[in-house]
Structure 1
Amino acid sequence: SGVISMFFFKLEVKPFHEGPPLQYFVAYPHQYEFIVDEPIRCLKESPFLVLMVPVTPHNREARDIIRNTWGKETTVLGQESPVFLKVLQESQTHHDILQSDFLDSYNNLTIKTMVMFEWLSTHCSNTSYAMKIDSDMFLNVQNLIDMLLKAPKHLYMTGMMARGAPVLRDHTSKWFLPYSAFPESTYPPYALGMGYVFSLDLPKKILEASPHVKAVYIEDVYVGLCMRHAGLTLTDPPHGGLFRTTEPYLKIVQNHKLAPPSVVSV
Structure 2
Amino acid sequence: QNTEPHTEPHVDVHTAAHTKFQWEAPGPYHVAYPRNYIFTLDEPDACREEDPFLVLIVPVAAKNLLARGAIRRTWGNESLVLGKTVRLFFLLGLPSGKGSERLQADVEKEREEHRDLLQSNFLDSYRNLTIKTMMMLEWVASRCRNASYAMKVDSDVFLNVQNLVKMLLDPKTPRQDYITGMMTRHSVVVRNPNSKWYMPVDVYPDATYPPYPLGMGYVFSTDLPQKLVDVSRRIRPLYIEDVHIAMCLKQLGIVPTDPPSRSLFKAYMPSRFNRCHYAAVITTILDGPARLLQYWSDLQKPAPPC
TM-score by length of 1: 0.91
Partners of 1:16 and 1:35 lie apart in 2 by 17
Give the 5 Å matches for 1:66-77. 66-74=71-79, 76-77=88-89
1:58 deviates by: 0.8
Partners of 1:243 and 1:16 lie apart in 2 by 34
SS at match of 1:56: coil
Q: Determine which of 151, 156, 161 is the counterpart of 1:141.
A: 161
Q: 1:227 to 1:59 in 2, by over 3 A?
A: same
Q: Is the 8 A contact 1:62 1:135 kept in 2?
A: yes
1:21 deviates by: 4.2
* 1:166-189 residue CA offsets vs partner (Å, 9 max, x unmatched): 110000110000010000000000
1:85 deviates by: 0.6
- Does 2:224 match 1:238? no
* 1:243-264 residue CA offsets vs partner (Å, 9 max, x unmatched): 0146711110011124521111
Residue 197 of structure 1 is matched in structure 2 by 219
Q: Is the 8 A contact 1:190 1:234 kept in 2?
A: yes
Q: Is the 8 A contact 1:29 1:211 kept in 2?
A: no
- 1:127 corresponds to which letter in structure 2? A
- 1:263 corresponds to which letter in structure 2? Q
- Does 2:266 match 1:263? no
Q: Is the 8 A contact 1:76 1:94 kept in 2?
A: no
- 2:233 corresponds to which letter in structure 1? P
1:30 deviates by: 2.0
Partners of 1:248 and 1:258 lie apart in 2 by 16
Residue 223 of structure 1 is matched in structure 2 by 245
Residue 82 of structure 2 is matched in structure 1 by none
- Does 2:193 match 1:171? yes
- Does 2:37 match 1:37? no
Residue 129 of structure 2 is matched in structure 1 by 109
1:208 deviates by: 1.3
- Does 2:53 match 1:48? yes
Q: Is the 8 A contact 2:4 2:33 kept in 1?
A: no
Count of residue pairs the alignment pairs up: 253
1:77 deviates by: 4.6
- 1:213 corresponds to which letter in structure 2? I
- 2:126 corresponds to which letter in structure 1? Y
Q: Is the 8 A contact 2:75 2:160 kept in 1?
A: yes
1:44 deviates by: 1.1
Partners of 1:134 and 1:118 lie apart in 2 by 18
- 1:123 corresponds to which letter in structure 2? R
1:29 deviates by: 3.9
Q: 1:77 to 1:182 in 2, by over 3 A?
A: closer
Partners of 1:17 and 1:139 lie apart in 2 by 36
Q: Is the 8 A contact 1:139 1:255 kept in 2?
A: yes
Measured on the aligned residues, the alpha-carbon RMSD in Å equals 1.7
1:16 deviates by: 3.1
Unaligned runs of 5+ in 2: 7-22, 80-86, 93-99, 271-275, 300-306
- 1:168 corresponds to which letter in structure 2? V
Which one has a bigger Cα radius of gyration?
Answer: 2
**Structure 1 range deviating more: 29-38 or 91-100:** 29-38
Residue 152 of structure 1 is matched in structure 2 by 174
- 1:30 corresponds to which letter in structure 2? R
Residue 9 of structure 1 is matched in structure 2 by none
SS at match of 1:67: helix
TM-score by length of 2: 0.79
- 1:195 corresponds to which letter in structure 2? G
Q: Is the 8 A contact 2:58 2:89 kept in 1?
A: no
